Amino acid sequence: MELVYDEAKFTEMVVYIAGRLLGDRAGGTTKLNKVVFFAEFSHFRRHGQVISGCEFQKLQHGPAPRPVMPVRKRLVAAGEAQIREEDFLGRKQHRLVPLRDADLSVFTDLERQTIDDVLEQLSGLTARQVSDLSHDEPGWKLTEIGETIPYAMAGLVYRQVSTPTSRRLARDAAERYGFVVPADA
């Protein structure tokens, strides 16, 4: 399968996700990068297609989209976004703050649903927790620092991770169907 990078779509995805992360205290650059990664790889895993097709590189703190810095700089230079430095738990956090709404017409309903699902699933997690989750991905484990993480690795089997959202959904389903809920769930 040939992957084609769509920079316009990637730009709108970054603007959309950054806008949605404005209400998230941990919604700085690291979390933005990981949401983009999980959205792209989840969509590929579920539907066999990418959203924007951007490349990801392995960095020490997890995968990052290669084009994010140039796109960010263009958004700031065009007056469509700004970078705000914030303190989060005694650490500097750089947050992309969109000054315009994302053009959602570039996304299919399935693409938008995948992005929204990932945002919901990672809600409430810190950048460190989201980075740790990304380190469980086979693509991150099987590449070297600086290398491109192939989308084909999205299909590799990996251990299921447990998040606060997945645990809550498991408890809700167990209660709904009358099953016993384990104490550690």
| Backbone CA torsion sign across 149, 139, 136, 172 | positive
Backbone phi and psi for residue 71, each to the nearest 5 degrees, phi listed first: -65, -45
Q: How far apart, in whole angstroms, are the C-alpha atoms of residue 57 and residue 50?
A: 16
Backbone phi and psi for residue 123, each to the nearest 5 degrees, phi listed first: -60, 135
Q: How far apart, in whole angstroms, are the C-alpha atoms of residue 25 and residue 151?
A: 30
Rounded to two decimals, what is the model's pTM? 0.81
Domain extent listing, the chain: 7-155
Q: pLDDT by residue (tens digit) across 3-40? A: 889 999 999 999 999 999 998 888 889 999 999 999 99
